[in-house]
């Protein structure tokens, strides 16, 4: 059966199958991570903005391609996937300084550590620092990244995500879909509407409503805890959010997004509705290795 039509096809069973299909009417909650799982946002942002800015500002004797490869691994294929770029910058600088020690880079690391630990992070404070100092180097990276991303439009949705979300309500009338986005809420809503998916969810939450775990806990406090919960995401933040409330987690594997969504539609979600996900387990060792691997080992590749 064609994967894209699978969810809709499941609703066209013969009348005699109604009793067998009844579990799908049970109320279930699906909480979906927008960036990286539904939209190809993360790869596009890092490739267009953060990677060239990092290579341009901090290579200092190291081949820019090496710097780019290190950032790409940390930002897209490690447990830092989906984290704020400043945290990725700190980790990348530490790894570079381990393989190619630099007093200048060490000074930047010290300033960045202090800034990230501050409860009130103000990038404008860097502008008040002396020219040529570590604060100005960090500000240069922020400014260059922002400039490169300024004209970036909305990322496309993965076709598998589009097919699943368009057919989810037909396959499971009792399903309610919530969305968490790292974008401001207005921008997130617009992105989903531009992609033709404005009718695919019940609620959408942007960055101003807190991180994924905080949003999921708030949803459960507000009455969305009356059925099975499935969290669908591609980052450590979504996985940890599911762990924090005891929800089932389904990984959208980086680099294999459409395949992941197809398997969710074909096998995992129907089994989830029947309470039989153990019969439709998908090998998630690659995702878990990404979540649990010691990223310090990346230093050996620099």
pLDDT tens readout for residues 138-169: 999 999 999 999 877 889 999 999 999 999 98
Residue-number span of the structural domain to which 214 is assigned: 3-39+155-292
The dihedral through the CA atoms of 111, 112, 117, 123 has a sign that is positive
Same domain, 50 and 105: yes
Task: Examine the pLDDT at 264 and tell me if it is beyond 90.
Answer: yes
What percent of the chain stands above pLDDT 70? 89
Same domain, 84 and 122: yes
Q: What's the pLDDT at 7?
A: 39
User: Is residue 13 situated within a structural domain?
Assistant: yes
Domain total in the chain: 2
Same domain, 164 and 257: yes
CATH number of residue 182's parent domain: 3.40.50.1000
- Distance, CA of 67 to CA of 54 (rounded, Å): 7
- End-of-domain residue from the set 119, 153, 187: 153
pLDDT, averaged across the chain: 88
- Distance, CA of 213 to CA of 76 (rounded, Å): 20
Same domain, 248 and 196: yes
User: Is residue 299 situated within a structural domain?
Assistant: no
Same domain, 125 and 183: no
Task: Examine the pLDDT at 292 and tell me if it is beyond 80.
Answer: yes
Same domain, 224 and 199: yes
DSSP letter at 145 equals: H
- Distance, CA of 7 to CA of 270 (rounded, Å): 9
User: Is residue 113 situated within a structural domain?
Assistant: yes
In this structure, what is the dihedral angle of CA atoms 277, 279, 282, 284, given to the nearest 10 degrees? Answer: 70
- Distance, CA of 66 to CA of 153 (rounded, Å): 28
Q: What's the pLDDT at 50?
A: 97
User: Is residue 301 situated within a structural domain?
Assistant: no
Q: What's the pLDDT at 69?
A: 95
DSSP letter at 265 equals: I
- End-of-domain residue from the set 153, 177, 207: 153
- Distance, CA of 15 to CA of 149 (rounded, Å): 53
User: Is residue 149 situated within a structural domain?
Assistant: yes
Same domain, 27 and 99: no
Same domain, 86 and 31: no
The pTM for the full model equals 0.86
CA contacts within 13 A on the Cβ side of 14 = 1
Same domain, 31 and 54: no
- Distance, CA of 51 to CA of 152 (rounded, Å): 14
CA contacts within 13 A on the Cβ side of 136 = 7
Same domain, 218 and 76: no
Same domain, 280 and 193: yes
Same domain, 109 and 119: yes
pLDDT digits (tens, 9 = 90+) for 245-263: 999 999 999 999 999 999 9
Question: Any residues with CB less than 8 A from the CB of 157 and at least 6 apart, and which?
Answer: 38, 39, 40, 195, 197
């Amino acid at each position: 059966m064609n994967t894209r039509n699978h969810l809709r096809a499941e609703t066209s069973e013969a009348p005699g199958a109604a009793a067998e299909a009844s579990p799908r009417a049970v109320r279930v909650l699906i909480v979906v991570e927008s960036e990286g799982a539904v939209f190809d946002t993360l790869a596009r942002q890092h490739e267009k903005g953060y990677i060239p800015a990092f290579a341009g500002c901090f290579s200092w004797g190291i081949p820019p391609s090496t710097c780019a490869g290190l950032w790409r691994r940390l930002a897209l294929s490690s447990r830092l996937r989906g984290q704020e770029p400043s945290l990725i910058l700190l980790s990348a600088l530490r790894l570079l300084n381990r393989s190619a020690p630099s007093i200048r880079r060490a000074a930047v690391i010290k300033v960045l550590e202090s800034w990230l630990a501050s409860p009130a992070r103000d990038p404008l404070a860097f502008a008040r620092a002396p020219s040529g100092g570590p604060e100005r180097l960090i500000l240069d990276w922020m400014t260059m990244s922002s400039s490169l991303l300024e004209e970036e439009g909305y990322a496309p949705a993965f076709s598998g995500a589009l097919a699943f979300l368009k057919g989810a309500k037909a396959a499971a009338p009792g399903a309610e879909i919530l969305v968490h986005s790292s974008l401001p809420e207005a921008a997130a809503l617009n992105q989903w509407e531009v992609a033709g998916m404005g009718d695919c969810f019940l609620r959408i939450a942007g960055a101003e409503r807190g991180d994924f775990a905080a949003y999921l806990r708030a949803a459960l406090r507000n009455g969305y805890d009356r059925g099975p919960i499935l969290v669908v995401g591609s980052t450590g933040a979504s996985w940890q959010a599911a762990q924090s409330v005891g929800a089932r987690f389904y990984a959208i594997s980086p680099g294999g997004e459409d395949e992941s969504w197809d398997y969710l539609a074909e096998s995992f979600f129907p089994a989830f509705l029947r309470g039989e996900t153990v019969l439709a387990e998908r090998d998630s060792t690659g995702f878990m290795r990404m979540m649990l691997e010691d990223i310090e080992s990346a230093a050996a590749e620099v």
